[in-house]
């Protein structure tokens, strides 16, 4: 650690403590998922029986599959809408409704979910009263709700990636004869692709994790995984939830690890190439 600020020992200690704070609860979930006792936190022996229980729990499995479906659909739609919004805000200088779009694209990021959930439910009810659609609430309404707040996140990510991108690239493509739509698909989109991927992943995670909004806008028979978990843990701790948590943590950890490895590899290769190339200037 550079001692330029004289805080030689303060910062790493702070960091270590902070990370411990972040991870101890997560680790506790994992450890106690293997606890034989039903009381979860009173250790009575090692056992994997709760994982078996989990896979026999039809309610949880149905909810998980439902959440997955909704998450995939909403992530895909959110990426499309969010990319368009981000692109429009980043590349078009002035147009009617710009402030409105900019405001609406950013508001969901900070809006308390309670408010979004309530407003969407009331909207769907009023809509149903007026037009007859949606006929009852369920997967469709939850998906629409998730798309709406996810696209804001995607828009922010895409917008910042586009702001970093050299605008000359798009101009160069036009200069070489490509029409505007072709420029978007052949040049802009490939370069912005990493942002799209992380946007999709973010939208997916937000959807699969959402409790409050889904609770408001969902209907009978369409209980998402968070809804099922919440109704269960309201009554107290439960070891099969620990098992579920461990599985989810495992999947996420694996995903993050893979992404980090891929990113590191790409960086290493690019660094090598750049160094070799600069030797070539004569």
For residue 123, the minimal CB distance to other proteins (Å) is 4
Judged by CB under 8 A, which of 61, 76, 139, 245 binds other proteins?
A: 245
| Binder of other proteins out of 65, 197, 252, 262 (CB under 8 A) | 252
Nearer to other proteins, 65 or 252 (CB): 252
Within residues 180-209, the interface with other proteins by CB under 8 A covers 180-184, 186-188, 190-191, 205, 208-209
Which CB, 87 or 200, lies closer to other proteins? 87
* Size of the residue set binding other proteins (CB under 8 A): 130
Residue 144 binds other proteins, judged by CB under 8 A: yes
In the complex, the smallest distance separating the C-beta of residue 56 from other proteins, rounded to whole angstroms, is 20
> Applying CB under 8 A, does 20 fall inside the site for other proteins?
no
SS (H, E, C) the chain: CCHHHCCCCHHHHHHHHHHHHHHHHHHHHHHHHCECCCCCCCCCCECCHHHHHHHHCHHHHHHHHHHHHHHHHHHHHHHHHHHHHHHHHHHCCCCCCHHHHHHHHHHHHHCCHHHHHHHHHHHHHHHHHHHCCCCCCCHHHHHHHHHHHHHHHHHHHHHHHHHHCCCHHHHHHHHCCCCHHHHHHHHHHHHHHHHHHHHHHHHHHHHHHCCHHHHHHCCCCCCCHHHHHHHHHCCCCCHHHHHHHHHHHHHHHHHHHHHHHHHHHHHHHHHHHHHHHHCCCC
Both structure tokens of 161: 């990636």
Rounded to the nearest whole angstrom, what is the least distance from the CB of residue 58 to other proteins in the complex?
A: 20
| Residues in 162-181 at the binding interface with other proteins, rule: CB under 8 A | 163, 166, 168-181
Asked whether 183 and 168 are in contact (CB, 8 A), the reply is no
Map the footprint of other proteins across residues 88-127, applying CB under 8 A. 88, 91-93, 95, 97, 100-116, 118-120, 122-123, 125-126
Per-position x/- string for 42-81, each x denoting binding to other proteins as judged by CB under 8 A, each - no binding = x--------------------------------------x
What is the nearest approach in angstroms of other proteins to the Cβ of residue 138?
16
**Min CB(160)–other proteins separation in Å:** 8
Q: Toward other proteins, which CB reaches closer, 65 or 126?
A: 126
Q: How deeply is 217 buried, as exposed, middle or buried, from its count of CB atoms within 10 A (0-12, 13-18, 19+)?
A: buried
- Regarding 254 and contact with other proteins (CB under 8 A), the answer is no
Q: Which of residues 25-44 bind other proteins (CB under 8 A)?
A: 25-26, 28-29, 32, 39-42
């Amino acid at each position: 650690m550079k001692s330029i600020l004289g805080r030689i020992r303060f910062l790493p200690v702070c960091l270590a403590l902070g990370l411990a704070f972040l991870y101890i609860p997560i680790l506790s979930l994992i450890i106690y998922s293997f606890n034989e006792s039903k009381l979860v936190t009173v250790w009575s022996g090692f056992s994997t029986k709760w994982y078996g229980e989990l896979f026999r729990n039809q309610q949880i499995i149905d909810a998980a599959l439902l959440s997955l479906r909704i998450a995939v659909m909403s992530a895909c739609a959110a990426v499309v809408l969010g990319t368009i919004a981000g692109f429009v805000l980043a590349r078009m200088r002035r147009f009617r409704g710009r402030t409105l779009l900019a405001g609406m694209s950013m508001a969901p990021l900070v809006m308390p979910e309670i408010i979004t959930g309530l407003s969407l439910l009331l909207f769907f009810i009023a809509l149903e009263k007026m037009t007859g659609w949606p006929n009852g609430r369920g997967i469709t309404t939850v998906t629409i709700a998730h798309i709406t707040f996810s696209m804001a996140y995607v828009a922010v990510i895409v917008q910042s990636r586009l702001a970093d991108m050299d605008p000359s690239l798009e101009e160069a493509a036009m200069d070489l004869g490509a029409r505007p739509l072709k420029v978007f698909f052949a040049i802009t989109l490939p370069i912005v692709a990493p942002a799209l991927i992380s946007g999709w992943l973010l939208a997916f995670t937000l959807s699969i994790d959402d409790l409050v909004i889904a609770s408001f806008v969902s209907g009978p028979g369409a209980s998402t995984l968070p809804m099922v978990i919440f109704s269960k843990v309201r009554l107290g701790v439960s070891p099969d939830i620990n098992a579920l948590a461990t599985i989810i943590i495992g999947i996420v950890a694996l995903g993050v690890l893979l992404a980090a490895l891929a990113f590191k590899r790409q960086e290493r290769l690019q660094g090598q190439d750049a160094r070799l190339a600069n030797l070539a200037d004569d």
